């Protein structure tokens, strides 16, 4: 029986690439990310506190979805995706993610309960299934720890879903904080201690694949929005120009992400003495990167709809704020891969920061064009910096040393 349970673990000789099952699983999150964008786009006419509150509520829902997705990525990085039990877990999670996606546009209103139930089924029931499949194996304690912490936060989720609507956001924010804190601390429990994620043995190639794929899914969502919005409005030269600039902006985000650091993520994880530590740091970075792409995609929608609409705080948040957030996260990725931050991203961020006051008084099309110009400058400076030089190799300061204890299978 022990040997059979060990078959659930991903073998050291595994190729590590993402499987078709995981790509199938991602289809539910294509829907989910589109619903997140829909909620963000609904904030177009809001200002002041209403805009901040609406953005915060949508961010909360996105982070709940991200926790489901990232936990699944780590499960398939530690366990063999070809095993029937793991396949059942992934498909079940996909269904729950689809329920959350369907409920998400009104999750803060009348669809709060299905959103919560689907989330708790993944956070509480899924680890119990994995633990049962691993019975007798030392690694079973990790999913049991996760289930214990998720059970502790479950009353907050349910109280938010069933209680007064005005308490939903603070209750869910508290519950989500517990879930993320537990993830960061390794779900510590009395006597058993914690299972620190940074010490896990993982398939670095696989985890890098999953992060890169989720970034591309977010970019795909932005391309879908560009196409759908342009095809659904009356044709005009102004909208065609906005469509072109929006596409160019998405292409520049792709270029900036994959130039060196994004492309070398796999190699960096493979070389790290503690791939789990670097993988955990990269998970947080990609959360921000994916969020920034979604926020930027809403900006494309607003500009294509009304290229020369009046200045509003909401459009500035999406058109300029999204790319600025992307550059910050991309700087962090440079540090994680190379141990340094390169000046083109810093120049781009400072440039957008300096022009923001002027853009607040400009038409939307002007704002998006300036953003595209700044991103093009970043891409050009990146290319010039690398021209004629040896290709940089990963030199991550994260997970380089094994001084904090051995890599763990727990």
User: pLDDT value at position 13?
Assistant: 63
Burial of 390 (0-12, 13-18, 19+ CB in 10 A): exposed
Instruction: Assess if residue 68 is contained within a domain.
Output: yes
Residues 21 and 124 placed together within one structural domain of the fold: yes
Task: Quickly tell me which residue has 């926790």 as its tokens.
Answer: 67
Q: How many domains does the chain have?
A: 2
Last residue of a domain, one of 135, 164, 195: 195
Helix%, strand%, coil% for the chain, nearest 5 = 75, 0, 25
Helix axis angle, 20-41 to 275-305, nearest 10°:
40
Q: State the sign of the Cα–Cα–Cα–Cα dihedral 133, 138, 139, 140.
A: positive
Identify whether residues 40 and 173 lie together within a single domain: yes
Same domain for 190 and 211? no
Query: Which pLDDT score is estimated for 211?
Result: 96
pLDDT averaged over consecutive 10-residue blocks of the chain (410 residues)? 63 74 94 96 87 96 98 91 93 97 96 98 97 88 95 98 96 98 94 84 85 96 94 87 97 96 91 88 97 97 90 89 98 95 97 95 94 98 89 84 51
Q: What is the pLDDT of residue 328?
A: 98
Residue 190 lies in a domain: yes
Q: Is residue 43 part of a domain?
A: yes
Both 208 and 191 in one domain: the answer is no
pLDDT of residue 401: 54
165 and 210 co-located in one domain: no
Residue 256 domain boundaries: 204-386
Measured CA to CA, the distance from residue 205 to residue 270 in angstroms comes to 7
Residue 83, exposed/middle/buried by CB under 10 A (0-12, 13-18, 19+)? Answer: middle
Residue 400: the pLDDT is: 65
Q: Is residue 367 part of a domain?
A: yes
Question: Do 178 and 277 fall into the same domain?
Answer: no
In a domain, 394, yes or no: no
Using a CB cutoff of 8 Å and minimum separation of 24, what contacts does 123-130 make? 123/67, 123/68, 123/71, 123/147, 123/150, 123/153, 123/154, 123/179, 124/150, 124/151, 124/154, 126/89, 126/92, 126/93, 129/85, 129/88, 129/89, 130/75, 130/79, 130/85, 130/89
- In this structure, are 187 and 221 located in the same domain? no
* CATH number of the domain enclosing 332: 1.20.1410
* CA pair distance 322, 309, nearest whole angstrom: 19
What pLDDT shows up at residue 407?
53
Predicted model pTM: 0.95
């Amino acid at each position: 029986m022990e040997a059979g349970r060990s078959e659930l673990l991903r073998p050291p000789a595994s190729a590590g690439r993402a499987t078709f099952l995981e790509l199938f699983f991602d289809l539910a999150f294509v829907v989910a990310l589109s619903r997140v964008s829909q909620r963000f786009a609904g904030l177009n006419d809001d200002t002041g506190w209403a805009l901040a509150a609406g953005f915060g509520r949508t961010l909360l829902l996105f982070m709940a979805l991200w926790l489901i997705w990232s936990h699944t990525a780590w499960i398939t990085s530690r366990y063999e995706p070809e095993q029937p039990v793991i396949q059942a877990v992934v498909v079940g999670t996909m269904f729950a993610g689809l329920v959350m996606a369907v409920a998400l546009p009104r999750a803060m209103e009348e669809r709060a309960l299905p959103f919560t139930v689907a989330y708790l089924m993944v956070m509480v029931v899924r680890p119990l299934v994995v633990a049962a499949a691993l019975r007798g194996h030392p690694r079973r304690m990790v999913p049991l720890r996760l289930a214990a912490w998720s059970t502790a936060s479950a009353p907050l989720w349910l109280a938010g879903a069933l209680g007064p609507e005005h308490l939903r956001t603070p209750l869910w924010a508290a519950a989500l904080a517990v879930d993320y804190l537990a993830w960061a601390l390794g779900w510590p429990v009395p006597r058993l201690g914690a299972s620190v994620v940074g010490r896990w043995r993982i398939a670095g190639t696989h985890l890098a694949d999953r992060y890169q794929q989720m970034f591309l899914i977010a970019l795909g969502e932005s391309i879908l929005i560009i196409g759908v919005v342009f095809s659904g409005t009356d044709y005009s030269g102004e909208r065609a120009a906005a469509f072109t600039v929006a596409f160019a902006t998405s292409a520049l985000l792709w270029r900036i992400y994959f130039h060196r650091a994004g492309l070398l993520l796999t190699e960096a994880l493979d070389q790290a003495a503690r791939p789990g530590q670097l993988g955990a740091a990269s998970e947080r970075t990609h959360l921000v990167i994916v969020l920034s792409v979604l926020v930027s995609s809403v900006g494309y929608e607003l500009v294509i709809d009304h290229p020369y609409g009046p200045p509003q705080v909401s459009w500035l948040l999406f058109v300029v704020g999204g790319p600025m957030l992307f550059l910050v996260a991309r700087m962090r990725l440079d540090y994680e891969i190379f141990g340094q931050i390169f000046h083109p991203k810093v120049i781009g961020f400072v440039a957008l920061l300096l022009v923001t006051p002027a853009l607040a008084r400009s038409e939307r099309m002007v704002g998006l064009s300036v953003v595209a110009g700044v991103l093009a400058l970043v891409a050009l400076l990146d290319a010039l910096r690398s021209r004629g030089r040896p290709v940089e190799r990963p030199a991550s300061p994260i997970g380089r040393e094994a001084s904090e204890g051995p890599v763990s299978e727990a």
